């Protein structure tokens, strides 16, 4: 794991570097013995050089010892996506010897984790590791196209068609149509009879 020589990529590093320098100066009397007490990285999640296929919401690093108390200003984690954009957000969470931060991957590809920690002896340590991300992206369209709505049961058009078919079908529905036809014929016959009587009554007057 290669140590990061330019820790200024973190926003809080300026104040953290001053704090680390002061701690180093205060503990310089320890000499070589204190130098051998630097904390070191034990494990990471995701594992270095691994491929993540599930949704990733957090990156964590576990060290052999908890970091120096009250040195949070000098502790930082960044996670850079393939376009070198930092996708980590929020403050670094410190639980015992594990540091973690929230992430929101933007796209599949290679991601680089940059970290900086402060050992219990006051020395700042830093490094980086990479992993491949092949899971879902934050804000991506994972829902897919909206399904076409379906209507169950009988549609209004079907009801209208059914009613029309019932009126034009066979059975008792045809009886009113027959009666209407018979009534119309009887009306015509009655009209003809009335006209005949009227004509017959007017003939004698014409002859006179």
142 pLDDT above the threshold of 80 = no
Let me know whether 11 and 61 are in one domain. Answer: yes
**Per-residue model confidence as pLDDT tens digits over 12-55:** 444 444 444 444 444 443 444 444 568 899 999 999 999 999 99
pTM: 0.55
Q: How many percent of the chain have pLDDT more than 90?
A: 43
Let me know whether 192 and 104 are in one domain. Answer: no
Let me know whether 93 and 182 are in one domain. Answer: no
Let me know whether 109 and 198 are in one domain. Answer: no
Tell me, yes or no, whether 146 lies in a domain: no
Tell me, yes or no, whether 162 lies in a domain: no
Let me know whether 198 and 99 are in one domain. Answer: no
Tell me, yes or no, whether 207 lies in a domain: yes
Task: Residue 87: give the domain boundaries.
Answer: 7-133
Tell me, yes or no, whether 142 lies in a domain: no
Q: Among 62, 75, 68, 61, which residue's Cα sits nearest to residue 34?
A: 68
178 pLDDT above the threshold of 80 = no
Give pLDDT, residue 26.
43
For residue 46, whether the previous peptide bond is cis, meaning omega lies within 30 degrees of 0, is yes
134 pLDDT above the threshold of 90 = yes
Mean pLDDT in residue range 146-171? 48
- Domains: count for the chain: 2
Q: Among 46, 7, 39, which residue's Cα sits nearest to residue 129?
A: 46
CA dihedral 171, 172, 176, 177 (to 10 degrees): 0
Mean pLDDT in residue range 114-128? 93
Give pLDDT, residue 72.
87
By three-state DSSP, how is residue 37 classified? Answer: coil
Gap between the Cα atoms of 20 and 24, Å rounded: 6
Tell me, yes or no, whether 104 lies in a domain: yes
- Apex CA 70: angle with CA 8 and CA 77, to 5°? 35
DSSP letter assigned to residue 45 = E
Let me know whether 125 and 182 are in one domain. Answer: no
Let me know whether 182 and 124 are in one domain. Answer: no
Give pLDDT, residue 109.
97
**Per-residue model confidence as pLDDT tens digits over 44-102:** 999 999 999 999 999 999 999 999 988 889 999 999 999 999 999 999 999 999 999 99
Tell me, yes or no, whether 144 lies in a domain: no
200 or 179, which is more confident? 200
């Amino acid at each position: 794991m290669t140590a990061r020589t330019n820790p200024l990529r973190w926003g809080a590093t300026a104040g953290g570097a001053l704090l680390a320098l002061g701690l180093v100066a205060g503990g310089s009397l320890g000499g070589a013995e204190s130098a051998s007490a630097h904390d070191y990285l034990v494990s990471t999640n995701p594992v270095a050089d691994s491929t993540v296929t599930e949704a990733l919401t957090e990156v964590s690093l576990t060290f052999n010892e908890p970091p120096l108390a009250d040195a949070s200003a000098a502790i930082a984690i960044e996670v850079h996506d393939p376009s070198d954009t930092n996708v980590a957000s929020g403050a670094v969470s410190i639980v015992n010897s594990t540091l973690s931060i929230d992430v929101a991957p933007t796209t599949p590809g290679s991601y680089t984790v940059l970290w900086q920690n402060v050992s219990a002896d006051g020395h700042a340590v830093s490094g980086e590791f990479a992993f491949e991300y092949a899971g879902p992206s934050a804000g991506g369209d994972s829902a897919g196209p909206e399904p076409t709505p379906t209507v169950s049961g009988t549609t209004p058009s079907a009801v209208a068609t059914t009613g029309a078919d019932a009126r034009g079908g066979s059975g008792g529905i045809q009886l009113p149509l027959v009666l209407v036809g018979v009534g119309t014929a009887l009306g015509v016959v009655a009209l003809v009879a009335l006209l005949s009587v009227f004509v017959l009554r007017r003939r004698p007057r014409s002859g006179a």
